Amino acid sequence: MAQIQTPLSCREHFIRFRSSKLRQSLSSQVTAISPLVDQLMMFVRNCRKTDGSELEIEAAVREAVSNAIIHGNHEDPYKRVRVMCRCNSDGEVRITVRDEGPGFKSDAVPDPTSPENRLSTHGRGIYLMRMLMDEVSFVKGGSVVRMRKKSNVGAVAERKERNDE
Protein backbone atom coordinates (compact mmCIF):
# COMPACT_ATOMS: atom_id res chain seq x y z
CA MET A 1 0.00 0.00 0.00
CA ALA A 2 1.29 3.48 -0.82
CA GLN A 3 2.50 5.70 1.95
CA ILE A 4 2.65 9.45 1.65
CA GLN A 5 5.07 10.69 4.26
CA THR A 6 2.81 13.41 5.63
CA PRO A 7 -0.90 13.58 6.46
CA LEU A 8 -1.06 17.01 4.80
CA SER A 9 -2.54 17.48 1.34
CA CYS A 10 -0.02 17.98 -1.49
CA ARG A 11 -0.71 21.72 -1.60
CA GLU A 12 -0.31 22.13 2.19
CA HIS A 13 2.76 19.92 2.11
CA PHE A 14 4.36 22.08 -0.62
CA ILE A 15 3.84 25.24 1.41
CA ARG A 16 5.70 23.72 4.35
CA PHE A 17 8.21 21.35 2.74
CA ARG A 18 8.42 22.17 -1.00
CA SER A 19 8.12 18.48 -1.98
CA SER A 20 6.04 15.37 -1.44
CA LYS A 21 7.03 11.71 -1.63
CA LEU A 22 5.24 8.44 -2.34
CA ARG A 23 6.84 5.02 -1.70
CA GLN A 24 5.44 1.70 -2.86
CA SER A 25 6.62 -1.90 -2.75
CA LEU A 26 4.98 -4.58 -4.86
CA SER A 27 5.30 -8.26 -5.60
CA SER A 28 6.84 -9.14 -8.96
CA GLN A 29 3.58 -10.00 -10.66
CA VAL A 30 2.47 -8.41 -13.92
CA THR A 31 -1.05 -7.97 -12.53
CA ALA A 32 0.36 -5.54 -9.94
CA ILE A 33 1.59 -3.05 -12.58
CA SER A 34 -1.63 -1.22 -13.46
CA PRO A 35 -2.85 -0.67 -9.89
CA LEU A 36 0.56 0.72 -8.91
CA VAL A 37 0.80 2.99 -11.95
CA ASP A 38 -2.77 4.23 -11.43
CA GLN A 39 -2.03 5.15 -7.82
CA LEU A 40 1.30 6.79 -8.67
CA MET A 41 -0.26 8.85 -11.45
CA MET A 42 -3.05 10.05 -9.14
CA PHE A 43 -0.28 11.24 -6.81
CA VAL A 44 1.57 12.97 -9.70
CA ARG A 45 -1.61 14.66 -10.98
CA ASN A 46 -2.28 16.05 -7.50
CA CYS A 47 1.21 17.51 -7.32
CA ARG A 48 1.87 18.73 -10.87
CA LYS A 49 0.02 21.14 -13.15
CA THR A 50 -1.83 19.31 -15.91
CA ASP A 51 -0.13 19.87 -19.27
CA GLY A 52 -0.34 16.54 -21.10
CA SER A 53 3.08 15.33 -19.95
CA GLU A 54 1.34 13.04 -17.45
CA LEU A 55 0.85 10.53 -20.27
CA GLU A 56 4.60 10.54 -20.91
CA ILE A 57 5.34 10.00 -17.22
CA GLU A 58 2.77 7.22 -17.03
CA ALA A 59 4.19 5.35 -20.04
CA ALA A 60 7.76 5.66 -18.74
CA VAL A 61 6.78 4.39 -15.26
CA ARG A 62 4.81 1.52 -16.77
CA GLU A 63 7.88 0.50 -18.83
CA ALA A 64 10.27 0.78 -15.88
CA VAL A 65 8.06 -1.27 -13.56
CA SER A 66 7.36 -3.86 -16.27
CA ASN A 67 11.08 -4.23 -16.93
CA ALA A 68 11.79 -4.59 -13.21
CA ILE A 69 9.15 -7.32 -12.80
CA ILE A 70 9.74 -9.23 -16.04
CA HIS A 71 13.46 -8.83 -16.75
CA GLY A 72 14.87 -7.90 -13.34
CA ASN A 73 12.96 -10.19 -11.00
CA HIS A 74 11.83 -12.74 -13.65
CA GLU A 75 8.26 -12.54 -12.29
CA ASP A 76 9.33 -14.20 -9.03
CA PRO A 77 6.44 -13.28 -6.66
CA TYR A 78 8.82 -13.51 -3.68
CA LYS A 79 10.98 -10.69 -5.06
CA ARG A 80 9.91 -7.09 -4.62
CA VAL A 81 9.95 -4.01 -6.82
CA ARG A 82 10.25 -0.74 -4.94
CA VAL A 83 9.05 2.52 -6.43
CA MET A 84 9.66 5.99 -5.03
CA CYS A 85 8.19 9.15 -6.53
CA ARG A 86 9.10 12.65 -5.37
CA CYS A 87 7.20 15.69 -6.61
CA ASN A 88 8.55 19.18 -6.02
CA SER A 89 6.32 22.21 -5.67
CA ASP A 90 7.49 23.48 -9.08
CA GLY A 91 6.16 20.35 -10.80
CA GLU A 92 9.44 18.45 -11.11
CA VAL A 93 8.95 14.68 -10.74
CA ARG A 94 11.67 12.17 -9.83
CA ILE A 95 10.90 8.46 -9.93
CA THR A 96 13.11 5.56 -8.85
CA VAL A 97 12.29 1.93 -9.64
CA ARG A 98 14.41 -0.74 -7.92
CA ASP A 99 14.31 -4.50 -8.49
CA GLU A 100 16.12 -7.42 -6.84
CA GLY A 101 17.59 -8.80 -10.06
CA PRO A 102 21.25 -9.04 -11.11
CA GLY A 103 21.03 -5.95 -13.31
CA PHE A 104 22.15 -5.48 -16.91
CA LYS A 105 24.33 -3.26 -19.07
CA SER A 106 22.06 -0.55 -20.41
CA ASP A 107 24.57 0.39 -23.11
CA ALA A 108 24.47 -3.20 -24.43
CA VAL A 109 20.72 -3.09 -25.18
CA PRO A 110 20.21 -3.10 -28.97
CA ASP A 111 18.89 0.07 -30.62
CA PRO A 112 15.21 -0.63 -31.46
CA THR A 113 15.29 1.95 -34.26
CA SER A 114 18.00 0.16 -36.25
CA PRO A 115 16.67 -1.68 -39.34
CA GLU A 116 17.44 -5.17 -38.01
CA ASN A 117 15.47 -4.51 -34.81
CA ARG A 118 12.42 -2.65 -36.11
CA LEU A 119 10.25 -5.76 -36.41
CA SER A 120 11.23 -7.15 -33.01
CA THR A 121 8.35 -7.66 -30.61
CA HIS A 122 10.35 -6.44 -27.59
CA GLY A 123 13.27 -4.21 -26.68
CA ARG A 124 11.67 -0.75 -26.78
CA GLY A 125 11.13 -0.03 -23.08
CA ILE A 126 14.44 1.70 -22.33
CA TYR A 127 14.23 3.66 -25.58
CA LEU A 128 10.70 4.84 -24.68
CA MET A 129 11.72 5.84 -21.16
CA ARG A 130 14.58 7.91 -22.57
CA MET A 131 12.33 9.58 -25.15
CA LEU A 132 9.52 10.36 -22.70
CA MET A 133 11.47 11.59 -19.67
CA ASP A 134 13.98 14.43 -19.43
CA GLU A 135 16.59 12.27 -17.68
CA VAL A 136 16.97 8.50 -17.30
CA SER A 137 19.88 6.73 -15.63
CA PHE A 138 20.62 3.18 -14.56
CA VAL A 139 22.61 2.53 -11.39
CA LYS A 140 23.57 -0.41 -9.19
CA GLY A 141 24.38 -2.49 -12.27
CA GLY A 142 21.05 -1.65 -13.89
CA SER A 143 18.80 -2.88 -11.07
CA VAL A 144 17.80 0.72 -10.30
CA VAL A 145 16.37 3.17 -12.83
CA ARG A 146 16.08 6.85 -12.00
CA MET A 147 13.87 9.09 -14.11
CA ARG A 148 13.21 12.80 -13.99
CA LYS A 149 10.61 15.05 -15.60
CA LYS A 150 11.48 18.72 -15.31
CA SER A 151 9.24 21.38 -13.82
CA ASN A 152 6.26 22.29 -15.95
CA VAL A 153 5.23 25.53 -14.24
CA GLY A 154 6.52 27.76 -17.08
CA ALA A 155 5.28 25.41 -19.82
CA VAL A 156 1.67 25.69 -18.67
CA ALA A 157 1.81 29.50 -18.64
CA GLU A 158 3.45 29.60 -22.10
CA ARG A 159 0.85 27.25 -23.60
CA LYS A 160 -2.01 29.34 -22.12
CA GLU A 161 -0.52 32.54 -23.61
CA ARG A 162 -0.21 30.93 -27.06
CA ASN A 163 -3.81 29.70 -26.91
CA ASP A 164 -5.05 33.17 -25.94
CA GLU A 165 -3.43 34.79 -28.99
Q: How does pLDDT run across 142-154, given as a tens digit for each residue?
A: 899 999 999 887 6
pLDDT of the residue at 73: 97
Residues 69-120: pLDDT tens digits? 999 999 999 999 999 999 988 889 999 999 999 988 877 777 777 777 677 7
pLDDT of the residue at 164: 54
What is the rounded distance in angstroms from the CA atom of residue 114 to the CA atom of residue 117?
Answer: 6
**Per the confidence metrics, is the pTM higher than 0.75?**
yes
What is the band of 18 on the pLDDT scale with cuts at 50, 70, 90? low
Cβ count near 85 (within 10 Å): 24
Longest CA span, the chain:
56
Are 32 and 97 spatial neighbours (Cβ–Cβ below 8 Å)? no
CATH architecture of 3-164: 2-Layer Sandwich (3.30)
Question: DSSP assignment of 38-99, as one string?
Answer: HHHHHHHHHHS--SSHHHHHHHHHHHHHHHIIIIISTT-TTSEEEEEEEEETTS-EEEEEE-
Would you list the domain boundaries of the chain?
A: 3-164
- pLDDT(157) > 80: no
Question: DSSP assignment of 117-145, as one string?
Answer: GTT-SS--HHHHHHHHSSEEEEEGGGTEE
Q: Which of 22-31, 61-70, 112-121, 132-141 has the lowest mean pLDDT?
A: 112-121
DSSP SS3 for 15: helix
